[in-house]
Every structure is written in structure tokens, then in C-alpha cells.
Structure 1
Amino acid sequence: MKWLDLITGGYASFIVYAVAAAVIAAVLGYTYHAGASNKDAEWTLKYNQREVAIAEAYSAEVSRQAQANALAKALEAKRLAELEAENVALELKIKELSDEADADPDRDRVCLSDGSRLRIDSIH
């Protein structure tokens, strides 16, 4: 160490401490970087898992909505068929009552006949 003092002009201990501090800083830096890389990989994995879960949830919701829409359309078609059948039956009933009213011998009377009253009551 004396020879280093002679070469450096008395700064040998300072240089030794500086080199030791640099080595310690390098070890700490490497340790920090290794830990940060590990954390980065861990957070990347968590992010990717979250993205996969979001994509699955989105897909499930789209599928659920498609099923709900298909069911609603099927119920709508069934109800429209029922309404159409009711409409046809009502039109037949109206035609039948109209034919009966046309065939009624008392259709030209001022007041309602018994047949007219029964036809009107059958509509209710």
C-alpha cells in the first residue's frame, strides 16, 4: 500500500475506498436490476393473464347477448304467428256476422232485432 501512496501522492486509501464503493454500487445495481427484471416479468405475466380474462369475458358476453337476441326473435316470431292467427279468426268472425246481418230479414228495421242484438252481444 505504501508503493500506491508513493504513486498516487498519498491518495491510496481514498482510491481503495472508492474502488470498494464502486464494487458495492455495482453489486447493488446488479441486484436492483435483477429484481426489477423479475418484477417486470411478473407484472407482464399478470397483465397477459388479465388481458386473456378480459377477452374471455368479452367473448362470453357477446355469446350471451347473441343467445338472448335469438331467443327474443324466436319469441317474437311465435307471438306474431299467434297474433296473425287471432287476426284471421277475428276476420272470419266479422265476415260470419256480416253475412248473418246481410241475411237477416229485419236488417232494414229502425231498431235492433233479436238476431242483431245477439250478434252484437257475441262480439263482447
Structure 2
Amino acid sequence: MKLLDTLTGGYASLIVYGLAALAVAAVLAWTYHLGSTHTAAVWSLKYDQREVAIQKATNAEISRQAQANAMAKAAEAQRLAALEAENAALEQLIKEKSDEADADPDRDRVCLSGDAGLRIDSIH
């Protein structure tokens, strides 16, 4: 140390302390860098997991809506078929009652006959 002190003109201890401080600062900077890199990786992982979860939830909701729409369309088709069948049966009944009315011997009377009243009531 005396040799270094004579070579540097008395600044040897200052240089040693400066190098020690530089070494400590380098270790601290390296540790900080590792910590921030780790933190960035953790947050990136959390973000990616969140995005995957959101995409899964979105896909599940789209699938649920598609299934609900398909079920509603199937129910609608069944109801339309039932209504068409009921309508056809009603039209057939009206045709039968109309044919009966045409064949009724009392069809030209001023008021309704008993059979005509029964035919009208059967439509309701």
C-alpha cells in the first residue's frame, strides 16, 4: 500500500475506496437490473395469462350464444310447424262447416237454424 501511495502521490486510499465504491455500485446496479427483469417477466406472464383467460371466456360466451340461438331457432321451427298444423286443421274444419252450411236445407232462412248455430259454435 505504501508503494501505491508513493506512486499516486498519497491518493492510494482514495483510489482503493473509490474502486470499492464502484464495485458496490456495480453489484447494486446488477442486482437492480436482475430484479427489474424478473419483475417484467412476472408481469408479462400475468398479462399473457389474463389475455388467455379473456379469450377463453369470450370463446365460451360466443359458443353459449350460438347454442342458445340454435335452440331458439329449433323451438321456433317446432312452434311454427305446430301453428301450421293447427291452422290447416282449422281451415279443414271451416271447409267442412262451410260444406255443411251449403248442404243445409234451411240455409236461406232469415234467421239461423239450430244446426247453423251449432256449426258457428263449433268453430270457436
TM-score, normalised via structure 1 length: 0.88
Counterpart for residue 44 of structure 1: 44
* In structure 1, distance between residues paired with 2:8 and 2:84: 108
**1:31-70 pair list within 5 angstroms:** 31-70=31-70
* Residues matched between the structures, number: 124
Deviation at 1:96, TM superposition (A): 0.8
Deviation at 1:55, TM superposition (A): 1.7
Deviation at 1:103, TM superposition (A): 1.1
Where does structure 1 differ by over 6 angstroms across 4 or more consecutive aligned residues? none
Deviation at 1:14, TM superposition (A): 2.9
Deviation at 1:7, TM superposition (A): 4.5
| Structure with more contact order per residue of length (Cα contacts < 8 Å, sep ≥ 6) | 2
* In structure 2, distance between residues paired with 1:123 and 1:84: 17
Kindly report the root-mean-square deviation, in angstroms, between the aligned alpha carbons of the 2 structures: 1.7
* In structure 2, distance between residues paired with 1:23 and 1:57: 51
Query: Do structure 1's residue 81 and structure 2's residue 84 form an aligned pair?
Result: no
* In structure 2, distance between residues paired with 1:119 and 1:48: 74
Write the letter of the residue equivalent to 1:76: E
Measured against aligned partners, the alpha-carbon deviations of 1:63-109 in whole angstroms (never above 9, x if no partner) come to 11111111111111100000000000010011111111111111111
Between 1:38-47 and 1:26-35, the stretch displaced more is 38-47
Instruction: Find the residue that maps to 1:70 and give its secondary structure.
Output: helix
Write the letter of the residue equivalent to 2:122: S
Counterpart for residue 93 of structure 1: 93
Alignment identity in percent? 70
Counterpart for residue 106 of structure 1: 106
